[in-house]
Structure formats: structure tokens, C-alpha cells
């Protein structure tokens, strides 16, 4: 039987274009347009449909195998758009084409090929439209209904509707099989939401009527990427079908265990039910994570066997056993044979527990302390209610409650007075209960504190800032004076100096140590403001600034009190250098004002001007570092290091009001807002370390750093090469050891006790470092320059020589050493003989023996103990007696008398008479008598005539020293004296010989 579809569906078919059916191509260009043919299965055969074209009639041709095309439909009217081939045998494959004709021409569609099903699908009464969705963040939800309606084909598709769901599919499906759908071919709507998605369609049975209506359908569809989620959705479709279906439900679909205490198990059961008509195969039951906190209940194993019959159920029990704090999640998966392939349950829960307080710390100042801990709003998985502060002292425990606060600022408990032995712990209380108490923390012994003046009119106006940024007031002190302003620290860290600012300004010192505050001691009362205190490194003096007739001046006062000494005016902001003798100031005596060092003495003589470009006005804080490497000063909201414009700190919150050095590499800065910052210095720009006082207080006026320190006692301005540096370590516990070092020398660092000694230093400038204290010293290792100033003759008959000496040294001459060496007339010098040692005399008498040359030298010692070099020698001789000369010829006589040298003389009036003496020397003196009747004598060195000496003189002189020509080299031989006159007296009294 052949059936043809008439005009009712012609318009609807005009737009049909499906990927599942072969599409016809346009034929040769004729006046008739070729139609597009499609095929579809029917319960009785194969249907062919096409779009209407401008033709007078149609015919359908069929081709089987290699056979020719044959007309199988006969002529069909122009308004026919479908035809059913109900004579083709089941299982036969054939190709079809549609020929559109007019009276003169024909156009043929492209062929389409299909195979008739071997089994005719049955039409039944099962309708089902079921959506099965994996739980996820999407608008899709499970839905199932039995009332299914199907629309007529339109625009190449038809819509299946049931409940709130609508599914648009291609209008025709060629038969059983699997099909991949594109988003343009698949649209799903549920309620007010819709999506175009890709999908995978599995068809087990399908048939259409001759009128192109859906006759029966059994299929399943898996959708992807619908609802902006990659979760898989499965749809089971039955329409007028006899086929059963598989469906599975898991109840509940998701489960929240809520808040469960740590290590306590919570159980939940999940019912798996076969809601379909066919048995469902259960392939597996699993959890995504195989370990805690979610696990299958070991006491109730699941009973989901391999096959679950229709309407049957099984139960899976899952435990939540949190082993940590916080939210947890997992997924229970039932792997099955439904079209979805699996069913999942989203599991979640939150582990909660009592919790411990975090970041508990105890920080101490000299006399007080703080306890701080982290502020938390939630902990252990629940809201925090508050904290218990546990205090332990003398075996007793007290607890103080601190309710939770909204801010995240740390909790801070401030105790101005520390009782030895106090310990603290903190516990957190949440909705579960009180957590463990933190380990007990003792109050540590403070080794440093930053002291600020609070400017408050009560006895608690001194406070200490700890390293956490908390300010701890000094404990109430009935002896304390009020309204403290400027403040500074002694070098040993044991005392503070400060100024009270009532109607009169008073400078005070007060002992402040760990656990003890002494009674204030008044040093001086002033009628003008006293500011910029600076305690000298040797602990003896305090420098300060005070105005005089409106001009800033710097004064010094002894640390024990007394009358201040005015150093100079038009200078301000004094700070000590490491020599304890010099002050760094802002010197306004020149324009513009510059940082300079001046002598810490009356007059304040300028020593140096520091290299830097910024003007340092009166009132700006100036402080030299402990080691003298840096000079820091306030410049607006920054701290600068003298020397260059680039070396400055980050900008602070307001103008820098005061600064103090904490050792040699940290700066503490107080700003006008009252905040205190700690800056680091390491060869470059000052950098931020931390904030020591975060709460603003514009009344704060000054800041200083206090810590136990070594005090190097006063030292001389200049020292000798063997130094002795006394120092005081009383600020430290007994048994503390210290290291001493002389920087710039070859003396290695070593452990030391007071006084520290160093030996054999060279002249120069050094820095002594003792346990973190510094002292610049100058060493003079050079002795005085000494010289012999007398006697001023080369030879003398006197038995005593008067020696005179002198020396020069910048540190003064303390004493002299004098030595001589001597030689006989024919021998070498003997060893030196030191005849005066450490004498303070500059003139002394030396007994000299006849016949010797004496060479004397001197050296001096300065007041530092430096011993100078021996001076150049001054040489002189005392003559031999005439009896030491040999009578080489006859004609000489000896005479005696008290006027002669040693009471004798050798004389002659004859010519050619000789006296001789073996000698070694360069310089010779003849001792003779000169008179009006005296003759002459010739002098020979060996056989060489040296000179002839004329003894004639208008008056008579005895013991006259007559110098002979000086020899260029040492003469060693015989000197001969020969009378060179006749009848005249030649009277020889001695001979002096000198080797120099």
C-alpha cells in the first residue's frame, strides 16, 4: 500500500533540514527547482517526505542495489509532500529520490538511503519524561511525569512537553541508534529557565505516522553544559511505548552534617530506590576521599547489591568524623546502569572544637609589663565569646574575663608594677567551651625600654613603650615630681634625668632600674625652659639647652648637681660625641645654621663643621649615635643622617619632635602626634622597624632609650702607647663578662675587666669598645725631642764639665736621661755610661778625667711616659799632662808650679828639641804657655808637618788650649812637637786628643 501526504503539512515540511537524514542537492539548472527529500521510519515501511516546489506533479523513485531507478509511487499530485513505501521488505536497504515535473521539464532531488527496521516497533501506553540531574549549582532539578505531549514538526524540529519541561529535538530521526546533537538542534526548558546544549541521544525505538506525527519513541538523552554548569543531566523519554525504563533516586540528594565536635562521629543514612520499571544494576558505592573525615559507617555496611529490582530500596550509611577544625566536603557516588550512569549526594560538615588562644606573649619594661594575645572573632569553627587571663603568683591563680571585641587589634593587659614570680596564661572560650590554657609565661627581665614623657599632670607621666607598641605607665610613685618634660638616660642605664615643668623648671635625676624606682634628686632650678638633655658618655655631666635673653644657649652641669657652666650661646640641641669632651650642636653663629662639634668647655670653641646641606634650626632634635658614626636630626616628618640629602627615613605621620639612639644602629623617633617609631640604620637610609607607641598623645614631649650599659669613666684627652681605660659594669648582674677592643689597632678583641689595658699602641686616633660602650681616644706614642745644649767647647782643662739639656713635647717633658761614652788618646770609645736617669734637672756637672774625650747625649720622657730617642752627641776632651809626652831628644827640662796643668810643665829654649806621643784622633789641642818671650813649636803627624804654632803673646797665659788642624780622617800614629825657635821659651803643658 502506498500512502501520500496531502497539502496539510506542505508548509511545515518546507523548512525541514536534519542532520540525521540525507539532504538533497540542487539539480541541474532548470525552470523547476529540485525538492529536498527526507526519509523516516513508520510501523509499515519507509516514509519519504519533501518540500513543495513549483511543480505540476511528483513521483518517488526507488533503487535497490545495482538495479536501475524505478517509479514506485506513480504520479502524485502537486500538493502531495510525503509518501510511504509499505511494500519494501523489512531489513531491505534502498535509495529514494523525488522527481518534480512540469509539462516540459523535470527536477530530481538528491537520493537518500535508508534501511527498513527488521522489527516493527510496538505502540504502547507508556509515556514518561524524566529528568535526572547530578546535584550542583544550577537551576535544573529532578522531575518526572507520565503525561507527554508531542507537537507537529515545525522549523525542522518538534517539541516534547511534560510537566514544567519542554524538549526541542529534530523533527525526524532515521531510526534506532546513537546521535550527537549540537546546541542548535537541542533546547531544554524547565519552568522559566531554558538552555541550548549539546547532547547524546540514544534511540531504541521510533516510528512516525504517514501524517508525520510521532507514533512511538523510546530513547534517553544526556545533556552537557546546560545551566552554565558542566554537570551531566539525563532525560528518559517514552511516548506511546511498550519499553520499560530504569530510574534511580537517592534520598536525601545532599546532606549537611552541621557542626560536629572534633573526633566525634555523626551518622547519616541515604536511601537508594529503583523508581523505574526495569531492574537497575548497582556497579559501585564510593566516597571521593577514602580517608577521614567522611567514611562508611563500619557498624552499618550498605546493602546495595548488584541488582536493584523495581520499587526496591537499599541503604548507605556515611559517618562524618572531623579530625580537624573547619568546613569539610565529600561526594557519595552510586554508580549504576541508568542513563545518567551515576547518582551523587553532596556531603558537607564542619568540624568544631574548643580552641587555644593565639600569639600569647608577655613583654616587660623595667618596672611593668604587658600581656597581649591575638583578637579572634571565630575559632574552633564557632564564634568566640571571650578570653580568660590566668595569673599565677605564689601558688595562687586568679582569672580575669575579657569579652570578645569586634576589632582585630590585639588584646593588651597592662600592669605598671611587676611582682617577681608572676606568670600568665590565656584561654579562649567559644561556643563549644573553654579551650586549653596557653603555656605559662613568666614576666621576663627587661633589658631595655623606651621612656617617654606623657605630659600628664599626675605621677604617671613617665611611661615605657615595649617592643609590641604598648605604652606602660611607670608605677604610681608618691615621691615622683609631676609634669615631666625633657628626659635622658645615664650611660649605665640606671638613672633618668628629666625636667619638671611646673611654675619653675627643675632638673632632676632619679634612679630607675629593673624593679626599683628611687627618690628624685634635685640638681638645679631654672626660671627658663630647660630642654634637650644629654648625659655624657662618662656619666659625669649633663648638657642641656636653655635660653638667655631669648637666645638659645648650651650649658653643662655635673651629674651630682652644682652650678651650670655656660658653654656658648647661639647654639642648640646638644648631643655628646664618643670622646666625652665634645658636643654636636646646631651652630647658629654662622648663616645658615649648621651642625658642628664644639668643645664641651666654656666658650664652646668650634672643632669641626659636619658636612650636610640642610639647615638645622633651633628646636630640631639632634643626636649622635653611640659609636659616633652618625648624627641624626629631625627634618620635618623625617629623620635624616648628617652628610647627604639622600639619607633620610620614610616620612612619619607628623613632625619629628624628639629622637634617641638605641645603641649604634637603631633610632627611636617621637612625632608631634605622640607616636613612637623605631628605625633601623645599616649604612644606608634609615628604614622602618616597628611602631613602639601606636596610640596618639600630643602631650608627649621627649623620648629616650634606657638599657643597662657599661660606663667608660673619664679618660685623658691624650694617652700614651700603654692605655688604661677604667669602666663601670655595676648595671649588670654579677658574673657578666665583657669584651674589649681597640678599633684601628692590632690589639685583638678579648675578654676584659676594669681597667682595660692595651700596650704598644702607635700614635693616632682609636676607638675603644667595651661591651657596647664607645670611647674615642688619642694616643701619643712619640717621646720628646731632646738635645744637648752644653758644654759649648771642644776641650777644657777643667776637671768638671757643666752639661745642659732641653727637650720639646706637646704633652710636656717629665724627665731626662743623660749618658756619656769616652775614649783615651790612642783608643776607641767605651760603652755608654748613663749617669743621670729620670732627672728633672736641665743642668748637671760631670767629673771628667784627664786624657779622655767625652761624648754626651740626652733623651727625655714626656708626661705620658713616652721616652724619646737619644740626642746627637756633644763631644769634648780633657788634655793629657805634659808628663804623658815622651822626650824624644835631650834638651828638655821639667818645671813645677801651681799655675801649670797638673802642677808640671816641660820646657826648652833650644832649637830642634822634640816631644812625642802615640795618638788616634782627628782633632788635637796643644796645651802650652804663651808669653812675650815665648818661641814657636812645629807639629808633625808622623813625618808630615801639620803646622807651626807661635807661642808669642803680649801677655803671659798659662794652660792655653791651642787647636791644631783637624784631620779629615782618623790619624793613628805619633804626634811630634819640635821647638822651632832659638833662645826663646817653649813651655809644653799637655795634649788633648779627640776622635770626632
Distance CA 707, CA 564 (A): 27
> Which residues are CB-neighbours of 591 under 8 A, at least 6 positions away?
none
Whole-angstrom CA distances from 121 to 74, 204, 205 are 28, 9, 6
Compare 229 and 270 and report the one with higher pLDDT: 270
What pLDDT does 946 receive? 96
What kind and span of H or E run contains 10?
helix 10-13
Tens digit of each residue's pLDDT (9 = 90 or more) over 649-693: 999 999 999 999 998 899 999 999 999 999 999 877 899 988 888
553-609: pLDDT as tens digits: 999 999 999 999 999 999 999 999 999 999 999 999 888 888 999 999 999 999 998
pLDDT for 459: 46
Which pLDDT band holds residue 19 (cuts at 50, 70, 90)? very low
CA atoms within 13 Å, Cβ hemisphere of 874: 20
Give the cell for residue 765.
686616633
Domain 785-878 in CATH 2.60.40.10? The answer is yes
CATH architecture of 880-994: Sandwich (2.60)
Within a 10 A sphere around the Cβ of 502, how many other Cβ atoms? 10
Buried b (16+ CB within 10 A) or exposed e, 444-473: eebebbbbbbbbbeebbbbbbbbbbbbbbb
CATH superfamily of 449-706: TolB, C-terminal domain (2.120.10.30)
How does strand 254-261 pair with strand 280-287? unpaired
Cα gap 765→774, rounded to integer Å: 13
Type and span of the H or E element at 108:
strand 106-108
Mean pLDDT taken over the chain: 90
Burial of 592 (0-12, 13-18, 19+ CB in 10 A): exposed
- pLDDT, tens digit, 9 for 90 and up, residues 762-806: 999 999 999 999 999 999 999 999 999 999 999 999 999 999 999
Cα distance between residue 92 and residue 71, in whole Å: 17
Give the pLDDT band of residue 1 (cuts 50, 70, 90).
very low
Per-residue pLDDT, 18:
38
Q: Could you tell me the pLDDT band of residue 49, with boundaries at 50, 70 and 90?
A: very high
Confidence of residue 10 (pLDDT cuts 50, 70, 90): very low
Top CATH class of 2-115 equals mainly beta
Q: Which residue has the cell 526541542?
A: 168
pTM above 0.85, yes or no: no
Lowest mean pLDDT among 138-147, 225-234, 382-391, 652-661: 225-234
Q: Which CATH class is domain 248-352?
A: mainly beta
Task: Name which of 467, 540, 362, 414 is nearest 705 in CA terms.
Answer: 467
Write the DSSP assignment of 485-540 as a string of letters: EEEEE-TTSSEEEEEEESSSEEEEEEEEETTEE---EEEEEESS--EEEEE-TTSS
Q: Quick one: CA torsion of 658, 661, 667, 673, rounded to 10 degrees?
A: -20
Q: Which fold has domain 361-442?
A: Immunoglobulin-like (2.60.40)
Listed in sequence order, the residues at least 6 apart from 412 whose beta carbon sits closer than 8 Å to its beta carbon are 370, 371, 372, 468, 470
Helix (H, G, I), strand (E, B) or coil at 901: helix
Which residue reads 558537607 in cell numbers? 348
Q: Assess whether pLDDT exceeds 90 at residue 880.
A: yes
What is the distance between the alpha carbons of residues 37 and 112, in angstroms, rounded to a whole number? 7
Amino acid at each position: 500500500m502506498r500512502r501520500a501526504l496531502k497539502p496539510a503539512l506542505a508548509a511545515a515540511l518546507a523548512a525541514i533540514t536534519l542532520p540525521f537524514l540525507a539532504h538533497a542537492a540542487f539539480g541541474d539548472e532548470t525552470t523547476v527547482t529540485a525538492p529536498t527529500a527526507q526519509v523516516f521510519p513508520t510501523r509499515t515501511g519507509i516514509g519519504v517526505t519533501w518540500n513543495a516546489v513549483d511543480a505540476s506533479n511528483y513521483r518517488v523513485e526507488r533503487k535497490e542495489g545495482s538495479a536501475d531507478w524505478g517509479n514506485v509511487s506513480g504520479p502524485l499530485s502537486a500538493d502531495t509532500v510525503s509518501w510511504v513505501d509499505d511494500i519494501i521488505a523489512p531489513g531491505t536497504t534502498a535509495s529514494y529520490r523525488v522527481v518534480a515535473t512540469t509539462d516540459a521539464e523535470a527536477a530530481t532531488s538528491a537520493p537518500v538511503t535508508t534501511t527498513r527496521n527488521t522489527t516493527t516497533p510496538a505502540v504502547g501506553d507508556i509515556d514518561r519524561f524524566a529528568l535526572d540531574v547530578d546535584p550542583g549549582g544550577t537551576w535544573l532539578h529532578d522531575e518526572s511525569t507520565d503525561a507527554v505531549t508531542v507537537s507537529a514538526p515545525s522549523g525542522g524540529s518538534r517539541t516534547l512537553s511534560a510537566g514544567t519541561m519542554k524538549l526541542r529535538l529534530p523533527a525526524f530521526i532515521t531510526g534506532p541508534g546513537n546521535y550527537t546533537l549540537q546546541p542548535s538542534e537541542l533546547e531544554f526548558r524547565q519552568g522559566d529557565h531554558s538552555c541550548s546544549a549539546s547532547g547524546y541521544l540514544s534511540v531504541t525505538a521510533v516510528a512516525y505516522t504517514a501524517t508525520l506525527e510521532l507514533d512511538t519513541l523510546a530513547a534517553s538523552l544526556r545533556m552537557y553544559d546546560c545551566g552554565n554548569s558542566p554537570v551531566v543531566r539525563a532525560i528518559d523519554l517514552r511516548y506511546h511505548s511498550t519499553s520499560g525504563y530504569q530510574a534511580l533516586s537517592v534520598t536525601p540528594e545532599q546532606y549537611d552534617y552541621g557542626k560536629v565536635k572534633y573526633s566525634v562521629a555523626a551518622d547519616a543514612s541515604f536511601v537508594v530506590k529503583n523508581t523505574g520499571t526495569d531492574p537497575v544494576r548497582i556497579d559501585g558505592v564510593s566516597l571521593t576521599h577514602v580517608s577521614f573525615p567522611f567514611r562508611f559507617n563500619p557498624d552499618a555496611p550498605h546493602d546495595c547489591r548488584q541488582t536493584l529490582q523495581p520499587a526496591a530500596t537499599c541503604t548507605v550509611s556515611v559517618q562524618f568524623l572531623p579530625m580537624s577544625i573547619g568546613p569539610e566536603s565529600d561526594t557519595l557516588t552510586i554508580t549504576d546502569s541508568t542513563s545518567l550512569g551515576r547518582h551523587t549526594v553532596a556531603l558537607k560538615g564542619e568540624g568544631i572544637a574548643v580552641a587555644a588562644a593565639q600569639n600569647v606573649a608577655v613583654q616587660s619594661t623595667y618596672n611593668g609589663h604587658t600581656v597581649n594575645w591575638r583578637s579572634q572573632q571565630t575559632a574552633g569553627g564557632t564564634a568566640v565569646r571571650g578570653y580568660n587571663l590566668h595569673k599565677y603568683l605564689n601558688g595562687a591563680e586568679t582569672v580575669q574575663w575579657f569579652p570578645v571585641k569586634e576589632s582585630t587589634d590585639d588584646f593588651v593587659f597592662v600592669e605598671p608594677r611587676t611582682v617577681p614570680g608572676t606568670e600568665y596564661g590565656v584561654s579562649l572560650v567559644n561556643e563549644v567551651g573553654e579551650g586549653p590554657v596557653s603555656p605559662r609565661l613568666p614576666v621576663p627581665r627587661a633589658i631595655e625600654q623606651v621612656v617617654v614623657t606623657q605630659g600628664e599632670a599626675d605621677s604617671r607621666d613617665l611611661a615605657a613603650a615595649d617592643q609590641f607598641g604598648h605604652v606602660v605607665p611607670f608605677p604610681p610613685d608618691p615621691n615622683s615630681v609631676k609634669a615631666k618634660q625633657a628626659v635622658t638616660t645615664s650611660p649605665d642605664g640606671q638613672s633618668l634625668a628629666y625636667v619638671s615643668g611646673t611654675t619653675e623648671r627643675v632638673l632632676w635625676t632619679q634612679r630607675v632600674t629593673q624593679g626599683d624606682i628611687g627618690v628624685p634628686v634635685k640638681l638645679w632650678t631654672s626660671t627658663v625652659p630647660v630642654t634637650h638633655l644629654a648625659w655624657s658618655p662618662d656619666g659625669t655631666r649633663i648638657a642641656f639647652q636653655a635660653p638667655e635673653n631669648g637666645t638659645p644657649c648650651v650649658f653643662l652641669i655635673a651629674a651630682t648637681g652644682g652650678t651650670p657652666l655656660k658653654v656658648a650661646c647661639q647654639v642648640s640641641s646638644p648631643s655628646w660625641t664618643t670622646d666625652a669632651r665634645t658636643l654636636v650642636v646646631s651652630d647658629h653663629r654662622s648663616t645658615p645654621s649648621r651642625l658642628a662639634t664644639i668643645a664641651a668647655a666654656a666658650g664652646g670653641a668650634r672643632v669641626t663643621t659636619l658636612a650636610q646641606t640642610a639647615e638645622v634650626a633651633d628646636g630640631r632634635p639632634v643626636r649622635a649615635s653611640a659609636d659616633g658614626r652618625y648624627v641624626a636630626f629631625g627634618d620635618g616628618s623625617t629623620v635624616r643622617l648628617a652628610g647627604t640629602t639622600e639619607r633620610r627615613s620614610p616620612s612619619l605621620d607628623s613632625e619629628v619632635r624628639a629622637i634617641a639612639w638605641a645603641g649604634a644602629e637603631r633610632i627611636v623617633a617621637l612625632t608631634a602626634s605622640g607616636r613612637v617609631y623605631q628605625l633601623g640604620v645599616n649604612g644606608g637610609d634609615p628604614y622602618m622597624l616597628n611602631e613602639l607607641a601606636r596610640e596618639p598623645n600630643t602631650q608627649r614631649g621627649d623620648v629616650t632609650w634606657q638599657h643597662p650599659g657599661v660606663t667608660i669613666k673619664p679618660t685623658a684627652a691624650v694617652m700614651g702607647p700603654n692605655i688604661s681605660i677604667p669602666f663601670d659594669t655595676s648595671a649588670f648582674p654579677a658574673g657578666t663578662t665583657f669584651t674589649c677592643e681597640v678599633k684601628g689597632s692590632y690589639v685583638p678583641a678579648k675578654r676584659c675587666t676594669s681597667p682595660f689595658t692595651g700596650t704598644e699602641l702607635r700614635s693616632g686616633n682609636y676607638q675603644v669598645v667595651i661591651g657596647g660602650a664607645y670611647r674615642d681616644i688619642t694616643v701619643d706614642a712619640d717621646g720628646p725631642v731632646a738635645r744637648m745644649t752644653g758644654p759649648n767647647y771642644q776641650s777644657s782643662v777643667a776637671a768638671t764639665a757643666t752639661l745642659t739639656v732641653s727637650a720639646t713635647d706637646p704633652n710636656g717633658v717629665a724627665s731626662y736621661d743623660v749618658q756619656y761614652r769616652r775614649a783615651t788618646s790612642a783608643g776607641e770609645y767605651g760603652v755608654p755610661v748613663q749617669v743621670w736617669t729620670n732627672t728633672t734637672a736641665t743642668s748637671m756637672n760631670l767629673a771628667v778625667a784627664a786624657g779622655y774625650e767625652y761624648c754626651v747625649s740626652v733623651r727625655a720622657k714626656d708626661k705620658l711616659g713616652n721616652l724619646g730617642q737619644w740626642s746627637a752627641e756633644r763631644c769634648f776632651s780633657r788634655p793629657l799632662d805634659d808628663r804623658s809626652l815622651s822626650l824624644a831628644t835631650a834638651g828638655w827640662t821639667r818645671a813645677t808650679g801651681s799655675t801649670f796643668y797638673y802642677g808640671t810643665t816641660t820646657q826648652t829654649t833650644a832649637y830642634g828639641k822634640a816631644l812625642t806621643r802615640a795618638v788616634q784622633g782627628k782633632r788635637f789641642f796643644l796645651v802650652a804657655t804663651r808669653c812675650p818671650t815665648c818661641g814657636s813649636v812645629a807639629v808633625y803627624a808622623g813625618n808630615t808637618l801639620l803646622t807651626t804654632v807661635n807661642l808669642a803673646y803680649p801677655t803671659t797665659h798659662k794652660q792655653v788650649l791651642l787647636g791644631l788642624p783637624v784631620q779629615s780622617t782618623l790619624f793613628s800614629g805619633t804626634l811630634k812637637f819640635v821647638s822651632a825657635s832659638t833662645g826663646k821659651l817653649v813651655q809644653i803643658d799637655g795634649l788633648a786628643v779627640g776622635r770626632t
